[in-house]
Amino acid sequence: MKKQNDVILRIVARIAVVIILTFAINLFISGHHHPGGGFIGGLALACAITLLFLTYDIESVRDNIPFDFKAMAALGVLIAVFTGVGGMLYGRHFLTQAFNYFDLPLFGKTELATAMIFDLGVALAVIGTAMTIIITISEDR
């Protein structure tokens, strides 16, 4: 089959992927006070990678994102569970969430909560699962 010249798709995808990734991180961070959170943030990030898969071939994307996505999903669940265990270590109930206000250099006074770490776990699990499904059904072996 003659290889098609899809230069427009590639250029648009390069710009779009950056925008989607930014939007995914925004969704992830804003989950505490606005609609969003780990699940949808992770899904949006997986969408960005899927767009890369559609534009380029699987191998070149895998070379540039060399994660084992199954391990990433497992790691996500472990992070989420260990935030609960962290509460236990302080003698509280399992999954007790803590938060505090910090003065960060660039952001000023910021509320940081351990719910964020739980959400990070959820996001990793979602990205790992979605990518595993897509890669598994697209590779025929």
Partner 1 sequence: MNNLLILPIIIPLITGMFMVIVRKRIYFQRMLGILAIAGTGAVSAVLISQIKNEGIQVLHIGGWEAPFGVSLAADMFSALLLLTSSIVSLFCLIYAFGSIGKDREMHYFYPLFLFLLTGVNGSFITGDIFNLFVCFEIMLISSYVLISIGGTRIQIRESIKYVLTNLLSSLLFLVAISYLYATMGTLNFAHLSMRVAEAGQDGLLTAISLLFLIVFSLKAGLLLFFWLPGSYSAPPTAIAAIFAALLTKVGIYSIIRLFTLVFYHEPESTHLLIGIMAGLTMVLGAIGAVAYWDVKKILTYNVIVGVGFILAGLASGTTEGMTGAIYYLIHDIIIKALLFLIGGTIIALTSTANLRDFSGLIQTYPFLGWMFFVAALSLSGIPPLSGFIGKVFVTEGTFEAGYYWLGGIGLFTSLMVLYSVMKIFMNGFWGESYLDEENGQKLKKGLLIPIASLTILTVALGLGAEGLHSFASLAVKSLMDPSLYIEAVLGKN
Binding site for partner 1 (CB under 8 A): 70-71, 73-75, 77-78, 81-82, 84-85, 87-88, 92-97
Report the nearest approach of partner 1 to the CB of residue 58 (Å): 21
Q: Which residues contact 100 (CB under 8 A, 6 or more apart)?
A: 111, 112
| Alpha-carbon distances, residue 141 vs 16, 49, 101 (angstroms) | 31, 22, 51
Report the nearest approach of partner 1 to the CB of residue 59 (Å): 22
* Cβ distance to partner 1 smaller for residue 73 or 122: 73
* Cβ distance to partner 1 smaller for residue 50 or 97: 97
* Cβ distance to partner 1 smaller for residue 19 or 85: 85
Tokens in use for 99? 């938060």
CA-nearest of 118, 46, 119, 128 to 87 is 118
Report the nearest approach of partner 1 to the CB of residue 10 (Å): 35
User: At 71, which amino acid appears?
Assistant: A
* Cβ distance to partner 1 smaller for residue 9 or 87: 87
Report the nearest approach of partner 1 to the CB of residue 67 (Å): 12
CA 141/CA 130 separation, integer angstroms: 19
